[in-house]
C-alpha cells in the first residue's frame, strides 16, 4: 500500500468545529472593526524579503531563524509574510495613500514562521490585525485598544484577559534609556546569554524581553523607562490611560513590555490570559511612528495590533451551528424536475436547501433524518412539508413554502 501523504509539519487542516471557531473569530473581528470605520485590506502572502528584513531588524529572531525565504525563478529573494504590519505599510506607500490619511485598516489571513510547533502555535498560523495610519494622538492608541477589548468581549473571553500596557517614550526618552541600559547590562557582560550579548551592541531594549532564565534575573533590577521620560512622553502616556478609563477598558502598567526596534515609540501593550495554562498573550500591539519612513515613505505615524486566531479559537465556546438545510425529496423519478424548481426557489429566498444526488425516496428521507435536517419537502403529485423531528406533515403550495420555512 502506498504511503499516505500527510500535511507538512506545523500546518493543519481547518475542518468541522475547528473551522467554525476560526471563522467565528474572523467574522466577529470584521464586524466590530467595521463599526469603528475600518476597511479590510488584503496584501500578498509573500513580499520582497527587504519588506521584512528592513522592518523587523536584521538581528531579530524572526529574520535570523524563522522566516521562510527563498529565491524565485527570476532570482529575486521573496519571503512568506511572518506578520501583517510591514505589508500594510508597504501597500500604503506603493498605492499612493500617504496623502489620504487617516487610513484605518483591518486584515485577516495566514502568516508563516519556521519555529517549533506546539499547542496553539503552527508554522502556518493565522492572525487578525488592525493598523491606524496617520493620527499621532493618544486617542488613536486608545481607540484601537478599546476596539481590541470589544472584540474579546464579543468573543466571550474578556473575563479571562488582562490588558498590560507600557510606554516606550519618545525619541529623546528612548535614547536616554538606551544609554542607561547599556551602562547597566555592561556590568553583567559575562553573565548574559549569547543572544543578549549581541543585543547589547545593537538593540539593548530587546534584552528586557529575553526568555533566558539567567537574563531574567539580571533584568529584574534593570533601569526603567519611567526614569528617562520627557515631560511630553509622560503627558502622552497619562492622557492615553485617561482615555482607556473613559472607554471602560481595565488596564495595568507593566514596565517589562518592550519593543526593541527604533521605530516603535510611546505605546506598547498586550492582552494576556492565564486560561491556556501558562500566561499567554492573545492580542498585542503598539505605536510605530517611524516605520513608514523607514520603508521609504514619508513620516506617517502609525499604531496597530495583531492577534493569533488559533489562540483565540482555543478560548472561545463553539459557535452555534448554522441552520441545517431543508431536504428536498422527489418521491418518484418523474418528480425530479419539479423538485429542482422548488430547490432553486428556496435558495433564491436565502433558505438553505439540499437534494440527495441519488437513491429512491425512502433512502433520501433516511439520509435527511441522519443529517439532522428539521424539515423535508416531499415532492410528488402534491407537495408536502414534513417536520422530521415530530413526523407531522402538511400539504403546501410551492409559493407558500418560503414563508412557512422562515416562520
**Binding positions for L-histidine:** 83-85, 113, 127, 131, 259, 263-264
Q: Count of CB atoms within 10 A of residue 407's CB?
A: 5
Q: SS3 string of the chain?
A: CCCCCCCCCCCCCCCHHHHHHHHHHHHHHHHHHHHCCCEECCCCCEEEHHHHHHHHCCCCHHHHHHCCEEECCCCCEEEECCCCHHHHHHHHHHCCCCCCCCEEEEEEEEEECCCCCECCECCEEEEEEEEEECCCCHHHHHHHHHHHHHHHHHCCCHHHEEEEEEECCCHHHHHHHHHHHHHHHHCCCCCCCHHHHHHHHHCHHHHHHCCCHHHHHHHCCCCCHHHHCCHHHHHHHHHHHHHHHHCCCCCEECCCCCCCCCCCEEEEEEEEECCCCCCEEEEEEEECCCHHHHCCCCCCCEEEEEEEHHHHHHHCCCCCCCCCCEEEEECCHHHHHHHHHHHHHHHHCCCCEECCCCCCHHHHHHHHHHHCCCEEEEECCCEEEEECCCCCEEEECCCCHHHHHHC
Cell output for 225: 523607562
Q: Cα–Cα distance between 185 and 221 in angstroms, integer?
A: 10
Give Cβ neighbours of residue 373 (< 8 Å, ≥ 6 apart).
324, 325, 326, 327, 354, 388
Annotated binding residues, as ranges? Answer: 83-85, 113, 127, 131, 259, 263-264
Amino acid at each position: 500500500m502506498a504511503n499516505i501523504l500527510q500535511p507538512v509539519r506545523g500546518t493543519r487542516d481547518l475542518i468541522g468545529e475547528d473551522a467554525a471557531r476560526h471563522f467565528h473569530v474572523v467574522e466577529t473581528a470584521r464586524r466590530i472593526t467595521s463599526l469603528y470605520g475600518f476597511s479590510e485590506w488584503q496584501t500578498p502572502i509573500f513580499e520582497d524579503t527587504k519588506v521584512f528584513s528592513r522592518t523587523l531588524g536584521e538581528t531579530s529572531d524572526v529574520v535570523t531563524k524563522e522566516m521562510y525565504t527563498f529565491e524565485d525563478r527570476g532570482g529575486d529573494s521573496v519571503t512568506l509574510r511572518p506578520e501583517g504590519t510591514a505589508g500594510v505599510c508597504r501597500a500604503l506607500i506603493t498605492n499612493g495613500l500617504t496623502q489620504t490619511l487617516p487610513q484605518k485598516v483591518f486584515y485577516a489571513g495566514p502568516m508563516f514562521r519556521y519555529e517549533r510547533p506546539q499547542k496553539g502555535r503552527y508554522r502556518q498560523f493565522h492572525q487578525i490585525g488592525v493598523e491606524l495610519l496617520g493620527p499621532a494622538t493618544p486617542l488613536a492608541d486608545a481607540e484601537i485598544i478599546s476596539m481590541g477589548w470589544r472584540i474579546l468581549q464579543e468573543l466571550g473571553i474578556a473575563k479571562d484577559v488582562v490588558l498590560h500596557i507600557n510606554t516606550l517614550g519618545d525619541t529623546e526618552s528612548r535614547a536616554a534609556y538606551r544609554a542607561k541600559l547599556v551602562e547597566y547590562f555592561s556590568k553583567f557582560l559575562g553573565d548574559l546569554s549569547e543572544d543578549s550579548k549581541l543585543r547589547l551592541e545593537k538593540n539593548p531594549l530587546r534584552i528586557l524581553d529575553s526568555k533566558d532564565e539567567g537574563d531574567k534575573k539580571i533584568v529584574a533590577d534593570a533601569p526603567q523607562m519611567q526614569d528617562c521620560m520627557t515631560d511630553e512622553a509622560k503627558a502622552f502616556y497619562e492622557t492615553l490611560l485617561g482615555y482607556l478609563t473613559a472607554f471602560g477598558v481595565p488596564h495595568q502598567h507593566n514596565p517589562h513590555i518592550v519593543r526593541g526596534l527604533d521605530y516603535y515609540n510611546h505605546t506598547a501593550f498586550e492582552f494576556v490570559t492565564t486560561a491556556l495554562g501558562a500566561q499567554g498573550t492573545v492580542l498585542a500591539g503598539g505605536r510605530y511612528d517611524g516605520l513608514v519612513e523607514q520603508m521609504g515613505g514619508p513620516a506617517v505615524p502609525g499604531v496597530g495590533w495583531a492577534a493569533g486566531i488559533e489562540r483565540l479559537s482555543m478560548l472561545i465556546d463553539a459557535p452555534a451551528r448554522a441552520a441545517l438545510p431543508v431536504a428536498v425529496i422527489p418521491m418518484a423519478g418523474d418528480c425530479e424536475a419539479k423538485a429542482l424548481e422548488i430547490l432553486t426557489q428556496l435558495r433564491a429566498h436565502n433558505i438553505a436547501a439540499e437534494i440527495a444526488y441519488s437513491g429512491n425516496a425512502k433512502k433520501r428521507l433516511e439520509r435527511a433524518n441522519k443529517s439532522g435536517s428539521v424539515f423535508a419537502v416531499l415532492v410528488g403529485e402534491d407537495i408536502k412539508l414534513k417536520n422530521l423531528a415530530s413526523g407531522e406533515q402538511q400539504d403546501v403550495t410551492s409559493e407558500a413554502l418560503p414563508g412557512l420555512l422562515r416562520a
